[in-house]
Each structure stands twice: as structure tokens, then as C-alpha cells.
Amino acid sequence: MPYKDPEKKREAATRYRKKNHDTILEKQRGVSKENPNYQKEQREKNGEQWNKNRREKYADDEEYRKGLLEKGKTWRENNSEWISEYNKEYGQKNKIVIQEYMKEYGKRWYQLNKKKIKLQKKIYHKNNPDILLKAQIKYLEKNAVPFNLNKKEYKRALMAWTRVINKRDKVCQVCGSDEKLEAHHILHRAGFLLLSFSEQNGILLCKNCHNETHGNNLTE
């Protein structure tokens, strides 16, 4: 006999799902294999309104939100092996799509977490000076190759270029400050390595303007 009370109907459905969890899951996997576009078709058919209702309920109902998170955690624990295999197979089939998505996601995430990343890098470099030193040496060696220099010669040439820019400009060319001055490559070395020592490719900036030019947060 069907339940007239919606609450009792939900409780009965919950009991049924718990009792037949493995059977339901196996059936869902079978349907997904036979109809790989089934979920997509259902979302296109009536997913927008359904998702909107769920999002509103998730935002407003704390008990519902906690219950949903707990269910998700339990499901992942019970199906860890299947999830691992699915992710591996999906990653192999969609390698290029994932790479492009992660590039865009990485950019957005960086913009939202600049301060956090900067602090983490500072702490990491302080705790791991040997790793930082190796990275700097590798960077210098790589950049020195086009100029037929070794890493020490490249570093000295870069320091000489910095002194030339300091002597020529004297103050920040954006705000006129004469404090915490830094030589800046107008065309970045990452993309225009051969212009590393060009005087025309250099400009003197204060630390604040230099950070702003590179898209970083302004220093106090």
C-alpha cells in the first residue's frame, strides 16, 4: 500500500536503499554502461530546475547539508576502488580536456588565493633553503645557455644590467618614488630571453609598482 504521508514515504525509500545498496549500485552502473548519455539527457530534460531547488535547499537547510555531505563521504568510502578505476579510465580518455580545464582552473584559483600562496611559498623556502638553491641554480643554468655563459657569468651579467637601469632611471618611472627600487624587464625573460640584457627592455620601478606590473598584490 503506497504511503500517503510524504515523510513516511521518504523514510521507507531510505530503508529500501540501505537494505539494497549493492543491488541498486550495480543496476546504476549497468544503466550507465548501456546508456552513457543517460545522465546528460536527464540533466538537459529537467535538471536545471531540480538543481536550482537542491542548491537553494543546500544553502538554507543546515541539517540537509550535513546529511548530504555525510552520505557523500560514506559512499566514497564504500566505493573507493570503483572511484579510483573510473577516474583512471576517465583521465586516460580525456587527457587533453582535463589539461585545458586545469590551466583555466589554476589561473582562477591563483587569483583567489594569491596571499595564501605567497605565504606558503615564503614558509616553504625558509624551511627548505637547499631545494630553493637547487631551483635557482637550475634556472640560471637554463637561461645562460643561449648566451654561451655559465650560471655565474649569467648572474653577474644580470646584476650589471640591473645597475645600468638603476643608474639611468634613478627613480620609479611610474610613481617617482626613490625607495625599494627594482629593475623590471618590460618584455619578460620567460618569453623574450634574448632581450635579458637589453637596456631598452629595462625600466626602474619601486617594489609596489613592480608587484602591480606582475599582477601581484601591492605591498604595504
**Per-residue pLDDT tens over the stretch 24-66:** 888 888 887 888 787 777 777 766 666 777 778 888 888 888 8
> Residue 72 falls within a domain, yes or no?
no
Q: Where residue 220 falls among pLDDT bands split at 50, 70, 90? A: very low
Is position 105 within any domain? Answer: no
| Structural domain contains residue 175 | yes
Whole-number pLDDT of residue 55 = 78
Mean pLDDT of 10-19: 83
Q: Which residue has the cell 606590473?
A: 213
Mean pLDDT to the nearest integer, 181-195: 89
Coil, strand or helix: which one is 205? Answer: strand
The structure's pTM equals 0.46
Say how far apart CA 103 and CA 76 lie, in whole Å: 27
Residue 23 lies in a domain: no
Asked whether residue 114 is domain-assigned, the answer is no
How much is the average pLDDT of 167-173?
92
Is 76 inside a domain boundary? no
Residue 47: its pLDDT value, please?
A: 61
**3 state DSSP class of 203:** strand
Q: Report the C-alpha gap between 54 and 214 in whole angstroms.
A: 41
pLDDT of residue 128: 85
Q: Compute the chain's Rg from CA coordinates.
A: 29
CA 36 to each of CA 25, 42, 63, 97, 183: distance values in angstroms, whole numbers, following the listed order: 16, 11, 33, 18, 56
Return the pLDDT at 206: 92
Do the domain assignments include residue 56? Answer: no
Total structural domains within the chain: 1
Q: Is residue 90 in a domain?
A: no
pLDDT score for 216: 65
145, 151, 160: which is closest to 197 by C-alpha? Answer: 160
Please state, rounded to an integer, the average pLDDT across all residues of the chain. 84
Cα maximum dimension of the chain:
91
Q: What is the domain extent for residue 163?
A: 128-213
